[in-house]
Amino acid sequence: MQRHPRMLLPFSSWPVADRELWQSAFRVDGLFGENGAGSQLAPATRQSRLESYGRFLGFLAARYPRLLRRPPEKRLDQRRLAEYVAWRRQSCGDISLAADLGSLRGTFKLICPDIDWSWVQSVANRIANAAPRRARRLNLVTSERLYDLGIHLMDAAVDAFERSGRIRARDAVCYRDGLIISLLAIVPLRRRALAALTIGHQLVKNGNRWELDIPSEDTKTRHPLEYALPQAISARINQFLERFRSRIHGADKHTGVWPSQHNIPMRPDSINVAVTKRTKKAFGFSVNVHRFRHAAASLWSIYDPVNVRGAKDLLGQTTFATTEKHYITTQSRVAGRALAQVIEGLKGRLPSR
């Protein structure tokens, strides 16, 4: 089958007017200036919108190059969107296409804010709703099972140390990965926030317990999050920092909580790879970092359906009214404690070797 050519017009090749509108949308004029409408978007969202618009411009350059000389709001109508949808379907599935159209609509809202682009989102929604869904087998994995895997990995590292009297690098990595998995089971952070944890900043000691203090710049919603960790996990963190972390090569060169073996903290992708490998070996199928968020919501809905809306606060999501967004830090702390209590009750014990 002939592969559809990749047509993404790079930013440097955009029409001058489009580049100016894009830069204006992301303008930051300081504390008392008027920032652009997109200045608060997360970097990943900004990149997604840039690529979606670049693809649309690539389509126009290939099919309707004269339209690039017209204002952006004059280039898109229902007929042309239908042609664009058919063009994109040659290289992607409908779920990806729907997400791309939603991102494209977001870009048009930024650069042409006086136009109603809701009809583009309506098309995206119809495509997404009609797309076939794959079975989500991994949603059956709950936080309790993932937590138990993390404990097992940490205990295996401790047992190896007690047998040999020394901590090998591979045992330290095993303990690190187990701690990541158990921590995620209780506090299902996104990859970027997890990788950004540093000792004494995002991970802080309060009495005999550790807490997570996630600043707004490390969250997708741009709201800070705070989680008080249970005593059992705090004890595990103590052991990791006192015994195991230093055995990973280069750990002394930075304050990142999760050292790699390359003198730098683990990156979001490398954390995801480590977690998927450990879960694949244990369960026969992989569970990536994002799936921990599904697992937490699943556990909550099974064992505490009355209060399942609390899962929103645990995940740091903002679907309540605007006034309630100001309480997300307090809510996330309470929600994290609630999930930990559920897991404690299910396990009957939280080992702290």
pLDDT in tens, 273-288: 999 999 999 988 898 9
Mean of per-residue pLDDT scores for the chain: 81
Residue 179 pLDDT > 90, yes or no? yes
236 within a domain of the structure (yes/no): yes
1 within a domain of the structure (yes/no): no
* Domain end call among 92, 112, 130: 130
Buried b (16+ CB within 10 A) or exposed e, 191-219: bbbbbbbebeebbeeeeebbbbbbeeebb
Quick count: other Cβ atoms within 10 Å of Cβ 265? Answer: 21
Instruction: Say if residue 110 is in the same domain as residue 147.
Output: no
pTM, two decimal places: 0.60
Q: How far is CA 243 from CA 66, 89, 171, in A?
A: 66, 53, 11
pLDDT tier at 344 (50, 70, 90 boundaries)?
low
Instruction: Say if residue 113 is in the same domain as residue 171.
Output: no
pLDDT tier at 178 (50, 70, 90 boundaries)?
very high
Structural domain of 118: 11-130
Instruction: Say if residue 107 is in the same domain as residue 146.
Output: no
* Domain end call among 130, 155, 170: 130
Q: From its phi and psi, is residue 222 left (phi > 0), alpha (psi between -120 and 50) or beta?
A: left
Instruction: Say if residue 314 is in the same domain as residue 221.
Output: yes
Instruction: Say if residue 159 is in the same domain as residue 300.
Output: yes
Instruction: Read off the CATH number of the domain in which 270 is found.
Output: 1.10.443.10
| Residue reference for tokens 């100001």 | 326
One-letter identity of residue 189: L
Quick count: other Cβ atoms within 10 Å of Cβ 60? Answer: 21
Instruction: Say if residue 160 is in the same domain as residue 85.
Output: no
Instruction: Say if residue 111 is in the same domain as residue 179.
Output: no
Instruction: Say if residue 62 is in the same domain as residue 153.
Output: no
**Per-residue pLDDT tens for 292-320?**
877 665 554 444 443 434 444 444 444 43
Radius of gyration of the CA atoms of the chain, in A: 24
User: CA geometry: angle at 289 spanning 343 and 248, to 5°?
Assistant: 95
Number of domains in the chain: 2
5 within a domain of the structure (yes/no): no
